[in-house]
Structure formats: C-alpha cells, structure tokens
Structure 1
Amino acid sequence: MSPAAATKVGHTPPDGGWGWAVVFGSFISIGFSYAFPKSLTIYFKEIQEYFSVSYSEIAWLSSVMLASMYAGGPVSSVLVNRFGSRPVVMVGGLMVSAGMVLASFGQTIMHLYLCVGVIGGFGLALNLQPALTIIGTYFKVKRPMANGLAMAGSPVILFTLAPLNQFLFDSFGWRGSFLILGSIVLNCCVAGALMRPLNKNTQPKAEPPERNKASAVEAAASDTSEQSADLLTGENQDESKKQGCLHTFIDLSLFKHRGFLIYLIGNVVMFFGFFAPVVFMAPYAKHQGIDEYSAAFLLSIFALVDMFTRPLTGFIGNSKWIRPRIQYFFSFAVSFNGVCHLLCPLLPGYAGLVVYAVIFGLAFGMVCALLFEVLMDLVGAHRFSSAVGLVTIIECGPVLLGPPLSGALVDIYGDYKSMYYACGVFMLVPGIYFFIMHFFNYKKLDEEQRQSVAVGLRTCEEAVKLKTGQDGNTAHETDG
C-alpha cells in the first residue's frame, strides 16, 4: 500500500488573499450543512406528537437528512471535479430551500423523510464537499487554521438557529417555521458566489534563496507527513500516472492507500455514536421535565463552546509541535468524546446537563475541526475530493442507522442512559484504534522515508562512478 500522498495540486497555494473570502464562504456553507439537521431537533417533540410516531421514527428525520448528505458525497465530488465548487454550492442551496418549502406542506412523516431528508440532505451534500475541497486549493501551510475557521461555521450557525427555531415555532408553528427556514438557507447561494476558482496558471515569482529560506523551512516543518509521500517508489509513481483518467471522476485507487483505510475503518465505527448525542440532547432535557427554552438553550451552550473550540483547535493543529503528528491529536479528540458520553448519565439535573453541554461542545469541536484536515493530511489535497466522496458514501450507513438505533434504545429501556453509554463506547473504541494504528503508520512512513533517501544516495553514487568511468575512458582514448 502506498504511503500518505503529497499535496501536489499543480499550483502554489497562495495561503491568503481571496482565500480568506473563500474561507468565509466555506464557513457559511459548512455551517448550514452540519448545523441544519441538528437545529431541526427542536421540532422533534411536536412533530412526534402531531404524527403520533415513536422516538425511533422521529429520529429517522435527521438521520435520513445526514445520510443523504453523506451518500451524495461521490456525486458532489464528481460535480466539483467537473464544474468547480461555485456552481455546485449554489445549486445545493436551492435544493435545500426547495426541500424545506415542500416539507412545510407535508401531511405524513414519510413526506418529511422525502422532502427534508432526501431532497434537503442531498442539497447539503452539494454544499459540504465543494466547501471542503476548495480550501485545499487556496491553502497549504495555513491549511489547518483555514479548515478550523471554516468548520467553526457549524457551531456559529447552530448557536443562532437553536433559539431562533424555538421562537419561530412559538410564532408560526412547525409548518411556518419550515417555510421561513427555506428562505434562510438560500444564504448558501451567497456563500457559493464567494468561491471564486483559483487561477492555477498564475505562479508567484520565485524569491531569492536568502529571502525564501524562512518560508521554505516553515513549509517543511508544517507538512512533514505530506512530504514523506514524495519519496514514492518507481512502482507507486507508475500507479499514480495510471490514476489520471480515473481521477477525473473519482479515485478508487484510494482503497489501496494505507492511511486512507485506517481513517475509513475508524470513522465507520465512530459515526454510529457521533451524531446521536446531539440529536437527543434537547429531547433528553425535555424528558427530565425541563422546559422547552431551557432545553433549546443547551444546544446554544453546546454550540457556543464548539464555536470557539474549532478555530482554537485549528491554531493548535497548525503549530510546529502538533502538525507533524496531527493524527495523534485527532485520536485524542475522538477518545475524549467517548469519555464525555460515558459520564453524561452520571451528571444530575439541569446543572449536570449544562456541564455536559460544555464538555461535549469542547470534545465535538475538536473532532469536527480535525475531521477533514487529517484526511487531507493522509491523502493530499490533489486526491482529497475523491477521498471525501468515498468516505462520505461509506459513512452514510452508520450516519443513517446511528440515531434510529439510539432512539430504539430509548424506546426499549424508557430512558436515555443506555443510549449515551452506547455512544460513548462507539467513540472510545475507534479513538484507541486510531492511536494504535497511527503509531504503526508513522513508524512505517519513517522507515519508507529512510529507505527512499538511502536508495537516492546509492543512485547518485552509481551515477557519479559511471560518469567518472566514462570520463576516464575518454581521457585514455585521447591520450592514445
């Protein structure tokens, strides 16, 4: 299997300039993609009573929306590779808006599954992948920071939507609220307009060596794991050339990539317990007799902490101490989430839920800020679009089944403790798995790097000897 791929995107990322406007557009687009399904949980109790459905059935609403968002990943990746990020994001915003407007006229829970879940979820897929992909074309050295700022869009928008949804429901009911939300989500079209394609033919002028030395050292220190991929063997280089036509659509050779497989296996397990605690936070509070606004305020607290955690995690991940081994940082964040969920049922009353919301916001924000950065670190920016498409289509299974299975646990046992314990295990186990597997992956990459350097030195020595021998023979013939 090949090592981590280098970040070769055919141009030099500017690491700034219009890139910060692109980060702002991604901030909005990613924010709606992740916050929208969570914010709709405010309406769950009322929709559940309106259609007379169980906890498990109402959980399918967010679950189908998230699963459609993930299942649409490969289609979104193909469209981005073909048309670029800007038009794909704008079409996605229109689809989510249409889904919410149609859902406001729904007469059955199946109607909501189709409009909110399928149409809205697929629209969110067209918002998510392009926003993630375009950051890699504008940033390299500052990429963890840019990703952290962009991923902060989710908690910021969730922090705004949670109390807003409660106000809209009290004023207009869930039907009127869905109609208004359909107009609000059109802001994704504005975000897409900011995603101007980068002119890859324009290269920055080369600076003199003495002026460029510091920036070169900084780039080397911040991209250690990606640089190790430049040391590919001849066989791997031939394989890379064969990927050209396939990469036009989606790069299936990633299934032979060691780092990608480690990431994929751990994430499939993790996503069974990733979204359910957020989906059931407000219903859990209401189940304990807490009023609607206080329950909605828990989501705002969670989002507020998450909001500051994501950019902070990006800054820490961009540091010279963390960046070369950023996969360990991600492993810690996943494990931290698992411990957080295991402790939740032990915290009593509303004060305990507030403490849980704060700790959960911190843990969740760390994972979300690093979730796609570590994937790009493993496969490189030039293969990231295909990688995220493949990851999301496979993850749609656990994303789809996670919340309904958690809701089934609530239906069976009549409380939420078993659900939080299960989610804690589903997060803690992959966290430990990531620690172990990345230890061996980093060790293997270091060995491959040393071997490649040794092979390169031997090749140079042989070339010098050959050159010296040829020069000696020429001189001998001349003398003769």
Structure 2
Amino acid sequence: MSAKDLNNVKKKYTRVPPDGGWGVLIVVAVAINISTSTAFTSSYELLLKELLKEIGSTSTNISLMRGLSAICTATAGFLTRPLLHIISFRMLALAAVILFNIGVICIMFVKSSFTFHICHSIIQGLGFGLIYNLSCTILVDYFLKKRLMAIGLVYSVVAAITMIAPLFVRWSLEKYGFRDTILLMSALTMHNFIAVALMQPVKWHMKRIEVSDKTNEKLLQDKKQKEDFCTVPIIKVTNTDGNLSNRNNEKFYKTGEENGGINFRKIKDLLIDKSLCEKFLKSCVCAGPALALFADTTYAFILPHALLIAGWLHEDVTLTQHLYGFGDLATRVLFTLLSNWVQKLGSQELYVLGVTLGLVSRLGTLWSKSFIAKMVYIPLVGASHCAVTILIPLLVADAVRPDRFTSALGMLMMVTGLVSVVLGPAISAVRELSDSYGPVFYLIASCLAIIVLFWSIELCYKRNKHKRLQRREYLRQKKLNK
C-alpha cells in the first residue's frame, strides 16, 4: 500500500450538525413557530369569554374542550413520524401551520358548541401537535452540544410573549371587540409561514469534520454499535425528505399490492416502534414527564380559581400570576445563559430536581399561613414549571437515538394525552365531591412525589449497574493479563 493510500485510510470523516450559523436562524424560526401558536392559549379564557356566553357553553363543555384538545394534540404528535414517511418535513410543517390557522380563523364564524369544539379543540389541537413535534425535532437535529441553550432561548421568547399576550388581548377587546380581535390574532399566527420557510432540513447544512485515528477504530465497528455506543456522534437525521418514491415506501406499497390489499402489518410497524415500546415506554423518561405535565398544567389552571374562592382579592391573584410568570421566565433565561454548566448535571437529574422543587414549593404554599411566605413560594412554582416543560426535548434526545427522536416524542405526547383524559375527570370528581380545592392540591403533590420517588430509584439502579459492569470488565481484563 502506497503512502498516499495509507494517508487516505487514516483520514476518516463524519458529518455533524452546524451548532451555530444556520442553526441560529432555526432557533428564530422555531421561536416564531411555537410562540405564535402558544402565546394566546393563556388568554383564551379571556378572549373566548364572550363567545362562550353567546353559544351557551357550560362548565362541562369547557372541560370537554380541554380534554378533546389534549387528546388531539397527543394524537397529532404521535402520528408525526409515520406522516414523515409519506411527505417531506417542510411539507408536513406547512400542512400543520395551515391546519392551525384554519382553526383560528374559523372561530370567528362559530355559532354553536359543536362547531366550536371542531375548530378549537380538534383542528387547532391537531395542528399544534404537529407543530410542537416538528419544532422539537429540528432543534434536536441542529444542535448537539448547545441543545439546552437553544431550547432555553426558544422558550424564553415563548414565555415573554405569553406574559405580554393577555395585556394585548385585553386592549384589543376594549378597542375592536371580539370578532376583530380574533381576526388580528389569526394575522399574528400567520407568521408561522415565515418560520416554516426558514426550517430547512439539517442535512442541507451538515458540516464535514475529520476524526482522529483512535476514533476510526470505533467507526469500523458493526452498524449497531456505531449507532449506540460510538464516542464520536454519528448523526442519523430525521427523514426530512421522505416521499412515496423512497425505498422503504416502495417496499411498503409493493408488499400491500402483492397481497391484494393493504398490508396492515407494515402499517402497524410504521405506527408503533417495538423497540421504543420495550425500552422507552416502560422507563421513567416517558411516564414521568407525562404525569408531571398533567400535574403542572392542572395546578396552573385551578390556582387562580382556588385563590378567589379562598377570599383573595383580584389584585393579589394577579400578583401571584405575575410572580409565577417571572419565576418561569427567569429560570428559562438562566438555562440559556448557564447551559454549558447546567447540562453537565445530566438531563434526567436536572428534571428530577425540577420536579422536586415543584413538590416542595407547592407544599409550601399549602402549609404556609403567611402571605409573604406564599409569595416567596409562587416564583419557585414557576421555576419548576419551566423545568418540567422545556427539558422534555432534551430528556428524549438523551434517551433515544437521533433517528428515533420524533417517534419517542410522539409516544410521550400520546401518553400525556391519555393521562390527561384518565386523570382529568378524576380530579374534577374529587373537586365536586369534596367541594374544596385542598384535596386536589394534595393529589397533584402526590403525583409529583411518585415521580421523584420512582425516578430516583431508577437513576440509582442505573448508576450502580454501570459501576458493576465497570468492575466486572476490570476483573476480566485483570484475569486475561495474568
């Protein structure tokens, strides 16, 4: 072998995400996408108050609206990966934006509860589920070392707009009325089309880097070990340009035609990833965030009503909401600024700390009798809300391979929707039977306590198992050396 050939053998290359440059534009695009889709959800009760009175919606219809919206969002998130086998990433994002905007615009023409549920709960829920999964997927694809910083930056923008949105909606309602406010809101959500235009597939901007000779030995391992254990990242990007002409889909449709019909086994394999069901679905990384999201969302929704019933003034309730939002926003900014240091703690450990903070702060607000003490705990509740919400993409990205991130996130979204559908009516029943919010708050705290307990046990078991494996490998090498 010549020296030139030997030199070529030694030089091995891999392709990695840009981690900057075009990735900054992707962060901006995702921030626009998510913020315009979620900023007004906190103002829906204020925005739709007149409409709900007009169509005669009851408290049962409002509960149905929340439950139906949750299950539609979860279903859309779960179906994102199968849909990417049929159409490209950008086309699916465009379809999701169109679907969401149709749901927003059609609210102006709603005259009954039935059409309201279709426009708001079903159409908007399906659109938002697709938008959320695709936005998280492209963030994970573009950022490898700076994921927490990118995610923190995006959700800081979302939190800031969410705090401004109620003021804007209140001003618009007073000046233009309900119908014109909906029209103005739909114009703002159409900025999602700009975000979709900027969300280019990561493989268009992958950079080629040379890896060391030591790493080349790792790269020569079999395919499975390359994907799972290689120290240098071998990025398997989401199939962003999937279409009906690719090899897998040709095999999929050809097999169905040969059998004289639809191949339901292939459809089942496309919808359900067996390896994820065996490992990811049974882990705390899937079940924990689903239960934590339900508990956190329920608490944020019922807290103002509970304080008003307890005799608090409207000014004090408004102050608690501002403190809650401040704690949330401040934590997101800290995650962005201190991402390099915070990420060293580990995504699962950081999430458990966030849930623990939520448990302690919520119990503190229940047990404290001093108004000042309660005002101290409320920002901590907001900080825990930040950790419970924005760390989910990081958790899933660290738990599965990059090519399975979309499927895993969709599975987590589906579990979250099912938890909301099952436990939501149970929480409402407890509230009606006890005629008090106290038992509800304790049930929410118990959900968080369960997560902290079982997830801590799982982390300890995995850490001890890793140490045992290292010890076993050390003894084996020592025996071979003898």
The Cα shift of 1:173 comes to 4.7
1:198 aligns with 2:210: no
| Cα distance per residue 1:217-247 (max 9 Å; x no partner) | xxxxxxxxx9994079xxxxxxxxx9x9989
Hey, what's the Cα distance between the residues in 2 that align with 1:50 and 1:350? 38
The Cα shift of 1:133 comes to 0.6
Which deviates the most, 270-279 or 327-336? 270-279
Q: Which residue of 1 aligns with 2:298?
A: 276
1:230-379 alignment, distance < 5 Å: 230=229, 251-257=273-279, 261-287=283-309, 295=317, 298-314=320-336, 316=338, 318-319=340-341, 322-323=343-344, 325-346=346-367, 354-379=375-400
| Residue pair 1:22, 1:194 contacting (<8 A) in 2 also | yes
Hey, what's the Cα distance between the residues in 2 that align with 1:84 and 1:454? 50
The Cα shift of 1:146 comes to 1.7
Q: 1:370 to 1:201 in 2, by over 3 A?
A: closer
Q: Which residue of 1 aligns with 2:153?
A: 149
Q: Which residue of 2 aligns with 1:100?
A: 104
Hey, what's the Cα distance between the residues in 2 that align with 1:131 and 1:229? 24
Hey, what's the Cα distance between the residues in 1 that align with 2:389 and 2:344? 16
Hey, what's the Cα distance between the residues in 1 that align with 2:339 and 2:475? 31
Matched to 1:273, the amino acid is A
Hey, what's the Cα distance between the residues in 2 that align with 1:345 and 1:441? 34
Say which of 139, 142, 145 aligns to 1:138: 142
Q: 1:452 to 1:391 in 2, by over 3 A?
A: farther
| Residue pair 2:78, 2:407 contacting (<8 A) in 1 also | yes
Q: 1:388 to 1:48 in 2, by over 3 A?
A: same
Hey, what's the Cα distance between the residues in 1 that align with 2:325 and 2:59? 24
| Residue pair 1:317, 1:326 contacting (<8 A) in 2 also | no
CA RMSD of aligned residues (A): 4.0
Matched to 1:441, the amino acid is K
| Residue pair 2:104, 2:120 contacting (<8 A) in 1 also | yes
| Residue pair 1:302, 1:358 contacting (<8 A) in 2 also | yes
Hey, what's the Cα distance between the residues in 2 that align with 1:330 and 1:181? 34
| Cα distance per residue 1:162-213 (max 9 Å; x no partner) | 222333344455444333322222222222222111236854242889xx9x
The Cα shift of 1:266 comes to 2.3
The Cα shift of 1:290 comes to 6.3
**TM-score using structure 2 length:** 0.75
Q: 1:179 to 1:297 in 2, by over 3 A?
A: farther
1:40 aligns with 2:44: yes
Matched to 2:327, the amino acid is V
Q: 1:228 to 1:195 in 2, by over 3 A?
A: closer
Identity, in percent, stands at: 19
Hey, what's the Cα distance between the residues in 1 that align with 2:158 and 2:399? 24
1:35-184 alignment, distance < 5 Å: 35-43=39-47, 50=54, 53-80=57-84, 82-184=86-188
Matched to 1:360, the amino acid is V
| Residue pair 1:149, 1:314 contacting (<8 A) in 2 also | yes
Which deviates the most, 419-428 or 198-207? 198-207
Find the residue that maps to 1:107 and give its secondary structure.
Answer: coil
Matched to 2:380, the amino acid is I
Hey, what's the Cα distance between the residues in 2 that align with 1:398 and 1:446? 35
Q: Which residue of 2 aligns with 1:187?
A: 191
Give unmatched runs, 5+ long, in structure 1. Answer: 1-9, 213-225, 233-241, 463-480
Give unmatched runs, 5+ long, in structure 2. Answer: 1-13, 216-224, 232-247, 253-265
The Cα shift of 1:120 comes to 0.5
The Cα shift of 1:122 comes to 0.6
Hey, what's the Cα distance between the residues in 2 that align with 1:277 and 1:302? 12
The Cα shift of 1:385 comes to 1.0
| Residue pair 2:364, 2:374 contacting (<8 A) in 1 also | no
Find the residue that maps to 2:391 and give its secondary structure.
Answer: helix
Q: 1:167 to 1:451 in 2, by over 3 A?
A: farther
Q: 1:421 to 1:200 in 2, by over 3 A?
A: same
Aligned length: 426
| Cα distance per residue 1:327-380 (max 9 Å; x no partner) | 111111112223333333456698777545422211101222212201211113
| Cα distance per residue 1:257-279 (max 9 Å; x no partner) | 26862212323433431211222
Q: Which residue of 2 aligns with 1:11?
A: 15
The Cα shift of 1:447 comes to 4.3
The Cα shift of 1:388 comes to 0.5
1:442 aligns with 2:463: yes
The Cα shift of 1:317 comes to 5.3
Q: 1:22 to 1:412 in 2, by over 3 A?
A: same
Hey, what's the Cα distance between the residues in 2 that align with 1:198 and 1:181? 31
| Cα distance per residue 1:393-421 (max 9 Å; x no partner) | 22211234555544444444444333322
**TM-score using structure 1 length:** 0.75
Q: Which residue of 2 aligns with 1:237?
A: none
